[in-house]
Amino acid sequence: MYKQAADQGHAEAQFELGYMHYKGEGGERDYKQARELYEQAAGQGHTRAQFKLGAMHEDGKGGKQDYKQAREWYQKAADYDLAQFVLGELYYDGKGGERCYEQARELYQKAAEQGHTRAQFKLGAMHEGGKGGEQDYKQARGWYQKAAVQGYNRAQFVLGQLYYDGKGGERDYEQARELYQKAAGQGYVDAKVALYDEMNRQGVGNEAAGAASVSSGTAATTIAASTDPNTPGYAYNRPSASVRHHPSGPIRSTDHLYL
């Protein structure tokens, strides 16, 4: 069905057929063919195809890896929140051109305002760290809160830290503990460690503290993130750039999800 329409130059059919080749639906996975079909649709201004083509250039699937081309295709699709976010990542990392925190922050802002969870988290981290603009702990709290409400465990944890340290507002150990508990409940190890440390700080008995350590599945000194915990937003780990979802409808996982 899609093949005939794609051959006749219909952009949506080219995109859908490209996606089928990318996923290996109805046959073997073929990244090269998927890339060619995305190029045909993207050349007609098809936003989702432009985004997917950018991701394939970023990952080097179906052809050589080219961050500059990835930037250009993401830019064409930049009305789309996911394209705004990943383009912001390229500016943040300095891939495909100069590193520019100001531009990254602006793109995260656009995506965050559309409800993109990771963009909200990264924007919070940039406000917390003062990257791409002024340092503003109150704004950091606000953006972390938006991501935390959507269930993002890393946002819950770092927001808990701001409450614990009294940054961006009043110090609130109770709120910090609730946020740590939410993140820990999703398996976030740093939050489990924070809860264990908080129990020790309050003088909870060794038996209870030990139980908390066992339930976390790790020693209290084990930290999941590999970077310095004093670095704002340190818990964020950049996932693979591989195509995350089918933008026209429900999430259809390919390799990794940004959301």
Mean of the per-residue pLDDT values of the chain: 83
The whole-number pLDDT of residue 2 equals: 85
The whole-number pLDDT of residue 97 equals: 97
pTM attached to this predicted model = 0.78
Share of the chain above pLDDT 70, in %: 78
CB 236 within 8 Å of CB 121: yes
- Give the model confidence (pLDDT) of 206-217 as tens digits: 444 444 444 444
Provide the CATH number for the domain formed by 115-235 in this structure.
Answer: 1.25.40.10
If pLDDT is split at 50, 70 and 90, which confidence band does 203 have? low
Q: Name the residue type at position 155.
A: A
Residue 230 has pLDDT above 90, yes or no: no
Asked if domains 1-80 and 115-235 share a fold, the reply is: yes
Distance of CA 11 to the CA centre of its chain: 28
The whole-number pLDDT of residue 202 equals: 74
If pLDDT is split at 50, 70 and 90, which confidence band does 22 have? very high
The whole-number pLDDT of residue 256 equals: 25
Share of the chain above pLDDT 90, in %: 71
- The residues near 32 (Cβ < 8 Å, ≥ 6 apart) are 62, 63
CA gap 195, 110 in Å, rounded: 34
The whole-number pLDDT of residue 231 equals: 40
Residue 63 has pLDDT above 90, yes or no: yes
The whole-number pLDDT of residue 197 equals: 84
The whole-number pLDDT of residue 213 equals: 45
Per 3-state DSSP, what percentage of the chain is helix, strand, and coil (rounded to 5)?
A: 60, 0, 40
The whole-number pLDDT of residue 238 equals: 36
Mean pLDDT of 31-38: 97
- Give the model confidence (pLDDT) of 84-141 as tens digits: 999 999 999 999 999 999 999 999 999 999 999 999 999 999 999 999 999 999 999 9
The whole-number pLDDT of residue 199 equals: 75
Q: Please name the residue that has the structure tokens 């996923």.
A: 23
**Spans of all domains in the chain:** 1-80, 115-235
Residue 237 has pLDDT above 70, yes or no: no
Q: Name the residue type at position 198.
A: E
The whole-number pLDDT of residue 10 equals: 94
More reliable by pLDDT, 2 or 86: 86
DSSP per position, 125-171:
HHHHHTTTS---HHHHHHHHHHHHHTT-HHHHHHHHHHHHHT-SS--
The whole-number pLDDT of residue 236 equals: 37
Q: What are phi and psi of 14, to 5 degrees?
A: -60, -40
Task: Name the architecture of domain 1-80.
Answer: Alpha Horseshoe (1.25)
